Structure 1
């Protein structure tokens, strides 16, 4: 969906400062959020306060639609990773987009399918006890979305949060995978080859 089109038809932009919570578990869904500018992470938090990143959404993407579509409470926190501008589209308007914008409907199906694939892949990886294997799987998945010669723009902490590993384990794992020649690292960055 073209975000400018949403603005043109009257939807308002709301600013969320870095680390602000957009919604949290248990809240009833009222909107789908389109990101005009910024980045949002979706996380579950353990009883000990440890975050597990379920997804990261960037400029041009949207989030919150699964709970809205099935009218179930949110299961995770969404938090602005940096200063972010969002357009909140209410349920009626979102369903109107689905019904009257065939290209958007197809994009929505592809987006939901991609997220389902990611969740299935991560469940399989979490069942795998080998840290290096988990780490390599998420790195390869993230690299598939960037151009040749670019590097991953995630921190070691974010990789730990995505895989359920400790940061120290991620650091050792990246070093081992690099030494084995399975991934390419330069000055601490992981590159697509």
Structure 2
């Protein structure tokens, strides 16, 4: 879905400052959120306040549709990682897009399938005790969407939050993967896997 089309259609654009909560567990869904600019992370928080990142959404992407489609309350927090401008698309408008735009319907199916694949992959990885294996799997997954010549654009903290590891463990794990030639870096940025 082209964000510019939504802007031109006059849908509500709301600004969220960095660290603002967009929605939280238990809230009933009213919108699908299309990111005009900024970045949003979806997280669950344990009793100690530690975040586990379920997804990161960037400009041009959208989130919040699974709960809206199945009419269930949200299970996670979504938090602006940067100052963000977000287009709020209500339920009836969202379903109208699905019904009137077959390409968008196909895109929704692909997006939901990718998210289901990611969650299944992470469940399997969290059952694996080896930090090195968890890191390599998430790095391979994230590099899949990077263009040739690009690099991984997540922080060590984000890698830790995605894998359920501590930052220190991520730092040691990345160094170990580099020494074993399983991943390659350039100027400290991860660029590819073996």
1:189 Cα shift? Answer: 1.3
> Are 2:73 and 1:57 aligned?
no
Q: Distance in 1 between matches of 2:184 and 2:178?
A: 6
Q: Give per-residue Cα distances to partners, 1:49-105, cap 9 Å, x unaligned.
A: 000000000000000000000010000000001010000000011011111110100
Q: Which residue in 2 is equivalent to 1:149?
A: 149
Moved over 6 A (4+): none
| Aligned mates of 2:149, 2:100 — CA distance in 1 | 39
The offset of 1:133, in angstroms, is 0.3
Q: 2:161 aligns to what SS in structure 1? A: helix
Say which SS state the counterpart of residue 192 (structure 1) adopts.
strand
Q: Give the superposition deviation at 1:186.
A: 2.6
Question: Which residue of the partner structure matches residue 19 of structure 1?
Answer: 19
Output the CA distance in 2 between the equivalents of 1:3 and 1:189.
Answer: 30
Asked if the contact 2:185/2:192 (under 8 Å) is kept, the reply is no
How many residues align structurally? 193
Write the distance in 2 (CA, Å) between the matches of 1:40 and 1:10: 22
C-alpha displacement at 1:150, in angstroms?
1.1
Structure 2, unaligned stretches of length 5 or more? Answer: none
Counterpart of 2:36 in structure 1 is 36
Question: 1:102 is matched with which residue?
Answer: 102
Following superposition, the deviation at residue 12 of structure 1 comes to 2.1
- In structure 2, the residue matched to 1:118 is 118
Aligned-pair CA distance for 1:151? 1.1
What is the Cα deviation at residue 142 of structure 1? 0.4
Give the 3-state SS of the residue equivalent to 2:139 in structure 1. Answer: helix
Q: C-alpha distance in 2, partners of 1:107/1:186?
A: 34
Kindly indicate whether the alpha-carbon contact (under 8 Å) linking 1:3 and 1:34 is maintained by their aligned counterparts in 2: yes
| TM-score normalised according to structure 1 size | 0.98
Aligned-CA RMSD value:
0.8
Matches of 2:113 and 2:177 in 1, distance apart? Answer: 29
Paired residue secondary structure (1:49):
coil
